[in-house]
Structure 1
Amino acid sequence: MATPTIRELLDLFERHGNSQYGGENVTQLEHALQAATLAEEENASPELIVAALLHDLGHLLHNLPENAPDQGIDDHHENLGYRFACQLFPQAVTEPIRMHVVAKRYLCAIEPDYFSTLSQPSVVSLGLQGGPMNEHEISDFELNPFAQDAVRLRRWDDTAKDPTVKTSPLSHFKKYLSEVAFKRSVE
């Protein structure tokens, strides 16, 4: 299979981005744009802005129903998105994508109040994803060089669920995608 291009990646958002983001009051595209905007506002690296934009790309790559978590199904979207992104982007993009789910588990384990900030759909998915980490998992997570980027991404992910927020359009973020993509796969 040929390596996808940035255009094909953007087409995924155009084709599937209007689907509901889990049980939240935003679409997949709105959620992605909000997360990327939060990263941009915090002066994150171009790689982390791209990771924020694409962290839930895996939801656009499967054919499971939108309410799969309510049916007890973990779609493993972090792995689907990671595998797709690895064809286009370096580890500084792909590792935070792969780790954003375990970052939620990590934060639930180390911050006593974090769990209470999760939306109900995030609580449901947390149960499917293994719940809070144990001590061994915490230690392993903290050793990963991308752990702090994954935590930053997780916090943007948790916040990017406001239906009233206005963001730049998807086309605004193409410059970041093109900047950090492997040059052979830009167009």
Structure 2
Amino acid sequence: MSSEKVSFTQMKDGTKDEYLLLQKLEKPYLSLTADRILDELRRQGAVSLEGYQINRLQHGLQSATRAERDGADIDWIVGALLHDIGDGLAPQNHDRFSAEVIRPFVRWDVAWVVEHHGIFQMIYYAHHYGWDENARDEFKDHPCFNSCAEFCERWDQSSFDPDYDMAPLEHFEPMLREVFARKAYDPDVMREGFVSPLSR
């Protein structure tokens, strides 16, 4: 913990030097983003996915394992691993929360799919509640529509199996660290407008 502190009590009173100090002091915190995400995943392993046969961590591990075994690249694998990372703090909009966690570090189409997977998943269960199972059709003209439908079908909705041979978190840790070590919002990473295949 640094002993250096700014003098202002209102942001509008801060000087350039003070904001440069804050920027410098924030760098070590930003570099630990992957560690905080790994901590959250481990916490999800200790919290039940109420009513399901597996916990939240296992669901992410199964999704990521399926993605990797399908030949997906690192962005899709990490996206699959973290697509429900927002469940703990934002259960009502976990898809959007999860997308914001990964958005600075992955291709735009991966972030879009994670952001919208919740409404796409409704095709499997919404009719049981009297909801619109085809709500995802509002995005039918979006270039990532098929990617999201495929993501849900192949990796998300199928990953609640207690007998599935999933890889452990340690297997995915190097990939996660590689992705979160990238420069945030790098246009060469985000590749806005490019829709990538889910598997090679």
Matching residue within 135, 154, 167 for 2:152: 154
Q: Which one scores higher on RCO, CA 8 angstroms, separation ≥ 6?
A: 1
- Please give the alpha-carbon distance, in whole angstroms, between the structure 2 residues aligned to 1:161 and 1:180: 26
- Structure 1 residue ranges, 4+ long, deviating more than 3 angstroms after superposition: 1-4, 87-90, 124-128, 178-182
Deviations 1:100-152, CA, capped at 9 Å, x for gaps: 112224xx3xxxxxx4xxxxxxx369849x52225xx52x4232222222122
- 1:98 aligned onto 2:124: no
- 1:84 aligned onto 2:101: yes
Provide the TM-score with structure 2 as the length reference. 0.66
- Supply the RMSD in Å over aligned alpha carbons: 2.7
Structure 1 residue 61 displacement after superposition? 2.7
**2:40 matched residue in structure 1:** 12
- Please give the alpha-carbon distance, in whole angstroms, between the structure 1 residues aligned to 2:106 and 2:121: 23
- Please give the alpha-carbon distance, in whole angstroms, between the structure 1 residues aligned to 2:134 and 2:34: 35
- Please give the alpha-carbon distance, in whole angstroms, between the structure 2 residues aligned to 1:174 and 1:126: 37
Structure 1 residue 153 displacement after superposition? 1.8
Contact 2:41 2:57 in 1 (8 A): yes
Structure 2 residue runs of 5 or longer lacking an equivalent are 1-25, 185-200
Matching residue within 61, 70, 84 for 1:33: 61
Deviations 1:145-186, CA, capped at 9 Å, x for gaps: 22222122212111100112232111211233234336247x
Matching residue within 131, 134, 143 for 1:145: 143
Contact 1:33 1:170 in 2 (8 A): yes
Distance change >3 Å, CA 173–CA 102, structure 1 → 2: same
Contact 1:48 1:92 in 2 (8 A): no
Provide the TM-score with structure 1 as the length reference. 0.70
Contact 2:64 2:81 in 1 (8 A): yes
- Please give the alpha-carbon distance, in whole angstroms, between the structure 1 residues aligned to 2:129 and 2:85: 21
Give the alignment of 1:1-187 within 5 angstroms: 3=30, 5-62=33-90, 75-105=92-122, 108=123, 115=124, 123=125, 127=129, 131-133=132-134, 138=137, 140-155=138-153, 156-181=155-180, 183-184=182-183
Structure 1 residue runs of 5 or longer lacking an equivalent are 65-74, 109-114, 116-122
Identity %: 26
Distance change >3 Å, CA 28–CA 55, structure 1 → 2: same
